[in-house]
Chains A and B, each alone.
Chain A
Amino acid sequence: MTSGEATNGSPVRPIIELSGVTKVYGMGTAQMTALGGVDLSIYPGEFVAVMGPSGSGKSTCMNILGCLDTPTDGSYRFCGVEVGKLTRNQRALLRRHYLGFVFQGYNLLNRTSALENVELPLVYRGERARRRRQRARDALNTVGLTGWEGHTPGELSGGQQQRVSIARAIITRPVVLLADEPTGNLDSARSVEIMNLLTSFNRDQGITIVMVTHEPDMAQYAKRVVHFKDGLIAVDHTHEEHA
């Protein structure tokens, strides 16, 4: 599977299609508009960096993209499915089968081995234990953690923990990987490692990646950078050298 850009004229449909998406929190005078009508299309194989100051709406947008939240108004179509009309459990199933998450704080289960952390999504998919173990081992291998399977998060460095969480995210071979400041807690050397990993998954496995980041250095790795400001997309820029 190779990337299909909107600009190359092929009839590839976007995986993610936001049109006029708004998100309003609170009621009455305490109302706060987090997103003020966002249009965004992301195509298969893209690597999008989402940037913007805090409060710009990028986190809200990521939550909506991750089907954790629904828009107040407007439409979000994921692979052609209108997410806003789905129930809580239907959205959970969507996440289970099509999405992978990488968080800034890793969110690994404490006192649970790396292997068990990685196989967790397969547990919910009802995969058999033996096959689960094998796939988790393979996933850990791809993030360079062979030999660390039995270690708990407490026994791993930040970079290693983030690699475990990436293994957990990609073990289901998701259509889209959503990364929320994946390098936010890491030093620059570790950050580069993580970014190289993400880039390789994007390049080799064709996994579409949407990544929130504060750091322009990290955004460099993406082919496309979307800047949020005051709940709207201010800049949507595609690097020519990656195209």
Chain B
Amino acid sequence: MLANALLLALRELRRNVMRSFLTMLGIIIGVASVIILVTLGGGATKQVTEQISSLGSNLIMVVPGKRMGPGQTSGAAPFKLADAEAIAREVPSLQAVAPAASSGMTAIYANENWSTSVTGSTEEYFTVSNRVIGEGRAFTATEARTGVSVCVIGETVRSKLFGSQNPVGCKIRLKKVSCEVVGLLQSKGQSTMGTDQDDIIVVPLRTFQRRIAGNEDVSIIQVSVKDGVSTDMIKAELGRLMRARRHLSATDDDNFNVMDMKEISTMLSGTTRVLTGLLGAVAAVSLLVGGIGIMNIMLVSVTERTREIGTRLAIGALEWEVLLQFLVEAVVLASFGGLVGITFALAVSFGLATLLKVPFIFNAPIVLVAFLFSGAIGVVFGYFPARKAARLDPIEALRHE
């Protein structure tokens, strides 16, 4: 009986190809958007996690400002170099401490100029942020301490200012400072947030403060913890130290923030998760609309085929047999839409993943769930029309025009 109903449903589908396709469109769009979102969202999350773990799990960032919510801080007094020195002095088990300040400005070389981000930090910056020198060298501790006008540039800056020329030894101009390029950073590509990590110039912090920014501010202190030491313990230690240095009383909230990579990762993936969730809800609505479309067309179909139903009932079809026939038809319609949607979604998300340079992750459970869900939509929205068909009075149905 089921096989028969299936056969009938397929034939009915083939009979009204255009109508069936339009009916399925809602489900196709719904299923496709759910899968695309989840696949791309999963890829993005994976990329975030990978990049963060490439930064090293032992990295802790201290930034001024009170935490307001995910990724938001309110303004507060910046740190000073002394804060970083205090950390290095008083907190045990640290591998490196890199205070940093940065600002955007235009770098000029010969008749080329390029607007980029200039970061002032110590030589430990390279250790903490996992940057490797590709050519030349990093500035030395002495250079950093004395504030010599040297800089290390990223790959993007090099290509914009120097073209194919070797930049090491050349002098670029930052604001009014002429700065000798001593090294080139190895390319690191795009960051999680979509910024180009190679679009950067690193100068000694003292040089930055005195000659470029004209203040003593430090906007972030990055700390890398020795392997095997608990970051939680260090974070607590950092918190205590900074509270003391910023003269906070016991009742005051922190006006700075200590984050380790775990937190940053949670924060970032939290943002992507919220986004995926919201878009997923929109997709779910379109699935619902698709279901209503199926119900609508099934009701039309029942009305159109009233005589057929009457004939079947007269011949001796039982109520449940007629119900099954129409229910199977709705389910076939919906799940076929689901299949088309899945195929479409996988193709699109593969294309988009390649385009957006996000890893393509085939999420088998979500594909299965989407398929089963579309079938379930067929059952839910097909039941009412099918029941209507099954409960027709055969006499009335046979007389129907």
Contact = CB atoms under 8 A, between A and B. Distances in A.
Chain B interface size, under 10 / 10 to 19 / 20 to 34 / 35 or more: 10 to 19
Interface residues of A, number: 27
A66 to B, nearest CB: 7
A111 interface: yes
A16 interface: no
A99 to B, nearest CB: 8
A108 B312 CA distance: 10
Interface stretch (B146-154, B157-165, B264-272, B303-311): B303-311
B110 interface: no
Contacts of A110: 308
Contact of A68 (B1, B15, B314, B318): B314
B394 to A, nearest CB: 5
A68 B317 CA distance: 12
A37 B308 CA distance: 32
Given A63-B395, A68-B395, A126 B313 contact: no
A107 B398 contact: yes
A107 B315 CA distance: 11
A114 B317 CA distance: 19
Given A123-B4, A124-B321, A126-B1, A92 B313 contact: yes
A68 B394 contact: yes
Contacts of B394: 68
B149 to A, nearest CB: 86
Contacts of B313: 92
Contacts of A68: 314, 394-395
A96 B315 contact: yes
B397 to A, nearest CB: 10
B308 to A, nearest CB: 5
A63 B393 CA distance: 12
A95 interface: yes
B398 A92 contact: no
B205 to A, nearest CB: 82
9 nearest A-B pairs in the assembled complex, by CB-CB distance: A96-B316, A95-B316, A107-B311, A121-B315, A68-B394, A89-B318, A92-B316, A68-B395, A92-B318
Given A88-B319, A124-B312, A125-B316, 14 more contacts: A68-B395, A89-B318, A89-B319, A92-B313, A92-B317, A92-B318, A95-B315, A95-B316, A107-B307, A107-B398, A111-B15, A121-B316, A123-B4, A124-B317
8 contacts: A66-B314, A69-B395, A89-B318, A92-B317, A107-B314, A109-B308, A124-B312, A124-B316
